[in-house]
Amino acid sequence: MKEHDIRPKHIFDEYLRLTTEDTRSYFQDSVRHDVGCPACGANGVHAFTKMGFSYAECPDCSTLYVSPRPERSAFERYYTDSPSTHYWATTFYKETEAARREKIWKPKAELISEKLSHFSAFDEIVDVGGGYGTFAEEINRISGCKVTIVEPSRHLAEICRNKGFVVIEKFLEDVSPCDLGHKTRCFVSFELFEHLYDPAAFLRCLNRLMRVGDAFIFSTLNGMGADIRVLWEHSQAVSPPHHLNFFNSHSVRKLLATCGFGVIEVTTPGRLDVNIIENSLQHVTDRFWQTFITHSSENAKQQLQEFLAAHLLSSHMMVICKKDSESYNL
Ligand SMILES: [Zn+2]
């Protein structure tokens, strides 16, 4: 898989142009507050500013995150009615859905299905932020498992309902245990965690909905991933106002422990780091990477990508955890 398969350049460039305009319209005048590291609470050190958003890096656990952070209401307005959000939900998604289904969601469903086979049987998968329901379709097709989707957007919730899924049209924070019934469940959430205004609050809400034995599998960006570290502020993954938190394999464990979760596995099954660095070579200042990308064979690039993925150094991270039996009263 190549980066441009899932992010065609001309469509992605237009999306980035609209986003740049929106960051001014929706956030320029917002009040901002310093926030501590979302993983461990330490005071961050300024790393860089991008599109008017300041990013800090935690000196203790290397989490990269937006601070000072605009108020939550500015993000709510942005996600409700901005032109770039509309473009993402319509043009971008429509144009890329077929490719994303093949390149992202089918392999992801196969991977999750394989992971689930190691657990005792689940009655239900709950997809938090299920979007267009593409993952739900694929995992249902492979595993036969019933899927319930939590999706607050009316537009997306309707699309999922039309695909035959049960949809809870709410933010996770508003879901009650009664909405979910009494089943053994595996909660999943993909590419949502980096967007969250308050990841700890999200995890505590989720923990209250879970019963001991339930699992939570999620994917997010790894701030220690190769392309993010090499490209830093030039990384397209560092994309305010969307991506606010870049945890890593160490810091995400700290956060989960404090929110009542026991980690089963953290992996970085990403396949794009080297290709992304190659596509942004004009921003690469490190001599090793410049010469490696310019002079190495495709086989060497592939091998390095596999090494990065195997050693928690790819920027796409997947976490499997369960509700800790001691966490009833968090
Ligand atoms: Zn930290």
Query: Residue 73 C-alpha to ligand 1 middle, in angstroms?
Result: 25
What confidence tens digit (pLDDT) does each residue in 1-35 have? 666 666 778 888 898 899 999 999 999 999 999 99
Query: Residue 316 C-alpha to ligand 1 middle, in angstroms?
Result: 19
Query: Residue 317 C-alpha to ligand 1 middle, in angstroms?
Result: 17
Query: Residue 247 C-alpha to ligand 1 middle, in angstroms?
Result: 9
Q: Which long-range contacts (CB under 8 A, 24 or more apart) does 54-61 make?
A: 55/233, 55/238, 58/251, 61/37, 61/248, 61/250, 61/251, 61/254
CA 150/CA 162 separation, integer angstroms: 15
Query: Residue 132 C-alpha to ligand 1 middle, in angstroms?
Result: 33
Tell me the torsion sign for CA atoms 127, 133, 139, 144: positive
Per-residue model confidence (pLDDT) at position 34: 97
Query: Residue 36 C-alpha to ligand 1 middle, in angstroms?
Result: 8
Query: Residue 40 C-alpha to ligand 1 middle, in angstroms?
Result: 4
Residues of the chain under the 50 pLDDT cut: 328-330
Query: Residue 45 C-alpha to ligand 1 middle, in angstroms?
Result: 11
Per-residue model confidence (pLDDT) at position 330: 45
**What angle is formed at CA 108 by the lines to CA 104 and CA 112, rounded to 5 degrees?**
170
| E runs forming strands in 170-268 | 185-190, 215-221, 245-246, 261-267
Query: Residue 289 C-alpha to ligand 1 middle, in angstroms?
Result: 27
Query: Residue 120 C-alpha to ligand 1 middle, in angstroms?
Result: 34
Per-residue model confidence (pLDDT) at position 196: 95
Coil vs helix vs strand at 262: strand
Query: Residue 67 C-alpha to ligand 1 middle, in angstroms?
Result: 13
What confidence tens digit (pLDDT) does each residue in 307-329 have? 999 999 999 999 999 998 765 44
Residues flanking ion ligand 1, Cβ below 5 Å: 37, 39-40, 42, 58, 60-61, 63
Query: Residue 103 C-alpha to ligand 1 middle, in angstroms?
Result: 33
